[in-house]
Each structure stands twice: as C-alpha cells, then as structure tokens.
Structure 1
Amino acid sequence: MTIESAPKLNLSKFPRRTLLEGPTPIQHLPRLSTHLGGVNVFVKRDDLNGLGGGGNKLRKLEFLIGEALAIGADTIITVGARQSNHARLTAAAAARVGFKCELVLTRAVPRFDSDYLGNGNILLDDLFGARVHDLPGSANALQFAEERAKELRAQGRSVYVCPLGGSSPTGCLGYADCAAEITAQSSAEGLSFDRIVVPNGSGGMHAGLVAGFVALGLNPSFVAGFTVYGNAEQAHSITLDKANQTARLIDANLRVDSDAISIDEGQLGPGYGIPTDSMRAAVRLLASTEGLLLDPVYGGKAFAGLVESVASRKYLAGQNILFVMTGGLPGLFAYRSEF
C-alpha cells in the first residue's frame, strides 16, 4: 500500500448518523514488534469508540441508522449469535437515537455455561433496553426477524430490519469510509502498509475495505482476512459479492475482481465461536506485551493468524502490518472459563 497523496471518497449522498467520536488512531506496537522479530505491527483502534462499549460495528451502524432514520423508522431489529457484538452495538445505537430495539439471537455456538449465556454482550443488551428473542441454533433468525417486523408494522410501528453483522451494502459503506480514513492517516504519517489484517465473520468489514480501496483507485489485495465463521471458499464468495455490491453502490462503474479478496481459514478451528489454543495464546500475547485486549471470537483468531504469518515468514522483519482491532471486549467475560 504505497500512497503518494490521500485521495478522497465522497459518501455524502448516503444518509448517516454520526456515532463515532472521529477517526480512530493508528498506533505502533514497539514491544510486540520486537517480540515478533522486527515485523512492525500497527493497530487501527476501532475498539476505541465510547458508544456501547465500542467496536467496529459502529462504522456500519452510522449508515444503517442513517438509512433507518431517513425512512422514518422507530424500531430496529437485527440478528446474531447470543454473544453478538453487532447486536450489542445496535442496541446501544438504538438507545442513542431513541429507537425501540429487538434482537433475534440464536444459540449457534455450543456453549451452555452461565458466563456465556448470561454475561458479556447479553448483559449489556438488557442494559441498553433491547428485547431479546432467544432462538435455538438451528433457527432462521432473519426469517424470524422479518416475521416479527410484520407483526410490529401491523401495530403501526415503522421497522428497519438489519442483517447479520450489519453487513448489507449500506452497512459496508462504513468500512469503505474506513479505507479512506486509513489512506489519509497513512499519507499524513508517511506510512506504507504491506498488509492490513482483519477478521472475517459476516464479511462486511473486509468487503467494505476492499470496495473503499477500489473506489480510491488503490489495489485492495493487501487486505488479508482470517475467516472466523465459514471456510475459506464460503467466506471468499460472500465477501466478493458484498464488496461488489458496495462498490456499485458507491459508483455503478466499479468492479471488484476475485483475486482482490484474500481469505485464510487456518485459524477457524472447529468453528465459529469455538476457542482454539492459538487464539488463547494470541490474546495473552497482545495483553502481556502491549496491554491491549482482543475478543476471543473475532480479533483473537485473526491476530493469531498474524502471529502465525510472522512465524511462517509470510510477513518479514521490516514490513509494516496494520491490524484492525475490532473491539468485542465484553466477549472476554463470556469466555472467562477459557482463560
């Protein structure tokens, strides 16, 4: 990622409700970089947002809430797993703008301990005033949400339904905007990144970044995603589709090529939300060297991928690697027994 000057990305035609306090900082991690043998690790601190405990989903929600306000909604419904960070931040954003909020949460992760079922994000969902629908893991959450929306509309409510992870093309605009933010910060600091490392769950953050870099006229292939939800083939297909939808939303003439999407499934382990030894080691490494906290579902696994990439010499001493810290701190409390 070599940038001579900072190109602009104009998203002003899209409704938006500000939820962030401004650009999130990029910070160098010197002790970790030394520990990893001289690879220069930087972090994009998307965990440092005050609303709702912070996290990357707020970027998507700026555009999703903006769209909901534009159509006159008074209620928002979204879906996710029981410890969904997106659901928690949707509830917080709804409280901020005065919406009613309902969360359709499935028990998609096979955990039944009291911490997972009652602590972490689920505790905060309740504090933010959201109504939680607790569904089994096999349930079609989005179908339930649409049916619930029909019920509420019949009662006179105006309902906005938000997909898994907020990863609609509208939501992905939040990370197209982040691509422009990273580009501007890189230009201002004279930095050039060899890789940008992200977790890939519902694919929206990865897709948005790729679409944003394409819209800026930059090569997006340096964005490296570590899937935490499906296998690499599934994640690639979903992310490519969302990147193209988002790019066309920005400019109908834009197109994202298949080779622009880089997905690694090596840190997925047994499946979504299921801890791995490498995740535990990565969470402890970043905490003990830099005092920074990763969540066990998304950031922990992706950061484990970064560490493994250094160990296998995919990333070399002297290279600059940017890791996007997505937040999700409440998840650590839900997974207390794993540490």
Structure 2
Amino acid sequence: MIPRVRFAHLPTPIEPLPRLGAALGGARLWVKRDDLTGLAGGGNKTRKLEYILAEAQANGARTLITVGAVQSNHCRQTAALAARYGLGCILVLSGEREDQPSGNVLLDRLFGAEIIYCAAEERNQVLQQVFEEAWVAGKRPYLIPLGASTPVGAFGYVTAFEEFLNQGVEVDWIVVASSSAGTQAGLMLAALKAGWAGKILGISIDHPAAELQLRVAELVNEAAERIGSKIHCQPVDVMVNDQYLGKGYGIPSSEEIEAIRLFARYEGLLLDPVYTGRAAAALIDLIRKGYFKPQERILFWHTGGTPALFAERYRLLLAE
C-alpha cells in the first residue's frame, strides 16, 4: 500500500458529450472531469499530490519546492497544497516575470508561494541551487520533479483508473494529454493490472513520441516494482501521437483554439490553452480523419488547467 493523504474531490464524474459528438458526425464521446478534483481549480496533479504529500510528510518536509513553466498548472496546485497544510512553497518558473500577474501566476502569489524566474535552459540548475539553499537555511525542503511525475506520483492515476472502472462507463479508447508522463503511466499500469481491453492514447504536448514512450514505460515499470508487480512495459507498448506539437509548448494553433471553442459552445466545458486544448484538437482531427471506428466509444480524460485561460497572453488568441 502506497501512503496517501486524501484531499481531492473524488470520484470525478464521467459525462457524455452528445452535442459535440453530433457536431463531429456522430462520434460517441465521454469526458472524465479531472478538472474538478478540487484543489485550487482542480486538475490531474491533485491526484498525484495526494501521494507526493504523504511521502513528503514521511520525510519531515516543511517546504515544497517544484518547477514548471510560468503558467504551470502543477505549480499552482502545489502552491495551494502547501498553503492548505501549512508548508512553505518555492516555485522555479521558466519564463519571463509578468508585470501584472495573471492566470496561474496570480494564483501562485495568492497562495503565498515564493517564485523564482529563470530561463528554460537554466531551470534544472536553478532548481538544484534553490533546493540546496533551502536545505542550508533549515527549511527542510522536499523536491517535487516536473509535473509530480515520479513513480509515487503515478499512483494517483493508478487509483484514478480503478475509479474509472468502478464507474461502469464502458469505452474503447481513453485519449489524454501527455507531457511529463506520470498521468499516462499511472493509467497504463492500472489498465495492465486489470487486463483492460481498451486502448490509451497519449497526445504528446511537447515531446517526440519515442522520448515520451520511453519515459512512460520507465515510470510504469518503476511504479510496478514499488508494489511488487511483475508487470513490465516496453516503449513500443505505449501509444503516443506526436503529430500535434504545432509551434511549440504553450503556443496554441488555430486548431487548438477551435477545439477550445467547440467544447465551450457545444458542451459548456472549459479546456486550457496548453494541455487539454492540444489534446482535444488532436482528438477532433483524428475523429474527422476516421482514425476511430464509428462504433467505438471514446473517453476524453480532462486533465484540468482552466486557470491558464485567464492568463493575459492567451486573451487575444481566444478572441473572435
């Protein structure tokens, strides 16, 4: 049993998307609402942080340190978690400081996190330096890697998949945004344990398929080892589509903007401009191209991130 501190709002609902499905030619669509996990606007990292926090507490941590892009959903949820449990929080964000904080950065500051900005290529070096300085200062820091994607964090999505099975909604496909690999790895490990017959397709947000497949497989195997499972995953077993990287991380394409609008206007459902917007654009394009069979049922796993919609940099992109 992997230790866990329960604070997420679970189970998250599974909802049909009939109007969007009809607009896409009769596609059979559902959504798993992990934008409703409850911590500071929700998102997939909340599930991971239930396990990460338990490990941090076991190590006597008094400060959480983590890393991400300026509009990081993971950092926002970590900052909220630290505030809730009376811990310090230091965020190392790659990107430029905003004169007027918006979106996730506004929330990071509201939760009282200390924010350190740096260039993307310096991020790992700065992160290590920040950790060492916090340790010397007696802050008892606990370092959470990018996206909380560790073998321990992946268990958030092992239990998420078990939750999905218990909800009794039968689907043939799960489509999910995949970046730091932990969410897809947890889903895959649980699916392999359960002998699930469906397929899990990760839509890469920012990595070539081969790189992401390798990382997902590594996390599956490391997490399986933690629980004494003999499951072994090869990179070739991991389904990843990297054809929707567009102009790069955090730069929405016209297809992503269309996807955000379609989900909003047909289902009243908000996506974010970095992760779920890209994954939804891929889903829509694959449906239009006939990638899925007409009778196949598809679950879009919503990983949250909607506060980023309110970042200043995205307002003009989403304007009419």
Q: Same fold (TM over 0.5)?
A: yes
Residue of structure 1 aligned with 2:177, choices 199, 203, 210? 199
Contact in 1 for aligned 2:216/2:235 (Cα 8 Å):
no
Q: Is the 8 A contact 1:215 1:247 kept in 2?
A: no
Cα distance per residue 1:194-239 (max 9 Å; x no partner): 11000011111111110111222335x6000110111112211222
Which letter does structure 2 place at the counterpart of 1:313? Answer: G
Alignment partner of 1:56 out of 25, 36, 44: 44
Deviations for 1:129-187, whole angstroms, at most 9, x for unmatched residues?
10000101221x2332232222222222211100000101111110111111111112x
The aligned counterpart of 1:3 is none
Work out the CA distance in 1 between the residues paired with 2:206 and 2:199: 21
- CA distance in 2 between partners of 1:28 and 1:237 (Å): 33
Structure 2 equivalent of residue 10 of structure 1: none
Q: Partner of 2:291: helix, strand, or coil?
A: coil
Equivalent residue, structure 2, for 1:185: 167
Q: Is the 8 A contact 2:37 2:47 kept in 1?
A: no
How far off is 1:27 after superposition? 0.5
2:101 matched residue in structure 1: 118
What amino acid is aligned across from residue 61 of structure 1 in structure 2? L
> CA contact under 8 A between 1:104 and 1:132: conserved in structure 2?
yes
- Once the two structures are TM-superposed, the CA of residue 114 in structure 1 deviates from its matched residue by 5.5
Instruction: Letter of the 2:30 partner, please give it.
Output: F
Residue of structure 2 equivalent to 1:7: none
Please state how far the C-alpha of 1:87 moved relative to its aligned partner.
0.3
Question: Which residue matches 1:170?
Answer: 152
User: Which segment drifts farther, 266-275 or 57-66?
Assistant: 266-275
In structure 2, give the amino acid aligned to 1:74: R
Aligned residue type for 1:338:
L
Counterpart-to-counterpart distance in 2, 1:91 and 1:333 = 18
Match of 1:161 among 135, 139, 143: 143
Q: Is the 8 A contact 2:35 2:304 kept in 1?
A: yes
Please report how far the alpha carbon of residue 265 of structure 1 lies from its aligned counterpart in structure 2 after TM superposition.
Answer: 1.0
SS at match of 1:259: helix
- Residue 40 of structure 1 is matched in structure 2 by 28
Alignment of 1:337 onto 2:319: no
Kept after mapping to 2: 8 A contact 1:247/1:256: no
> Pairwise CA RMSD of aligned residues?
1.6
| Structure 1 range deviating more: 204-213 or 230-239 | 230-239
Aligned to 2:200: 223
Residue in structure 2 matching 1:92, options 51, 62, 80: 80
- Measured at CA, do residues 269 and 244 of structure 1 come closer, stay the same or move farther in structure 2, by a change above 3 Å? same
Percent identity for Structure 1 against Structure 2 = 42
Equivalent positions of 1:105-144 (< 5 A) are 105-107=93-95, 118-139=101-122, 141-144=123-126
Asked if 1:67 corresponds to 2:55, the answer is yes
**Distance in 2 of aligned mates of 1:181 and 1:133:** 37
CA contact (8 A) 2:213 2:236 kept: no
Structure-2 change in CA distance of 1:91 and 1:114 (3 Å): closer
SS in 2 for 1:161: strand
Contact 2:118 2:126 in 1 (8 A): no
TM value normalised by structure 1 = 0.89
Q: Distance in 2 between matches of 1:222 and 1:20?
A: 26
| Structure 1 match to 2:127 | 145
Per-residue deviation, 1:257: 3.0
* TM-score between both structures, scaled by the size of structure 2: 0.94
Aligned partners of 2:104 and 2:308 also within 8 Å: yes
What residue number does 2:252 align with? 275
Offset, 1:71: 1.2
Contact 1:282 1:304 in 2 (8 A): yes
CA distance in 2, matches of 1:113, 1:80: 13
Question: For 1:38, what is the secondary structure of its paired residue?
Answer: coil
Q: Number of residue pairs matched?
A: 316
C-alpha contact 1:61 1:90 (8 A) present in aligned 2: yes
In structure 2, distance between residues paired with 1:330 and 1:296: 10
Distance 1:142 1:65, change over 3 A: farther
Contact 1:19 1:93 in 2 (8 A): no
- Cα distance in structure 1, aligned partners of 2:145 and 2:65: 9
What is the CA–CA distance in structure 1 between the aligned matches of 2:47 and 2:200, rounded to whole Å?
Answer: 18
Distance 1:94-1:277 versus aligned 2 partners, 3 A rule: same
- Local SS of the residue matching 2:115: strand
Determine the C-alpha separation between the residues in 2 that align with 1:324 and 1:330.
17
CA contact (8 A) 2:173 2:297 kept: yes
Q: Distance in 2 between matches of 1:226 and 1:74?
A: 35
Distance 1:291 1:78 in 2: 32
* Partner SS for 1:292: coil
Distance (whole Å) between structure 2 residues aligned to residue 146 and residue 138 of structure 1: 13
Indicate the SS of the match to 1:53.
coil
Please give the alpha-carbon distance, in whole angstroms, between the structure 2 residues aligned to 1:318 and 1:50. Answer: 34
Tell me how far apart the structure 2 counterparts of residues 157 and 50 of structure 1 sit (CA, whole Å). Answer: 28
Mean Cα deviation higher: 228-237 or 118-127: 228-237
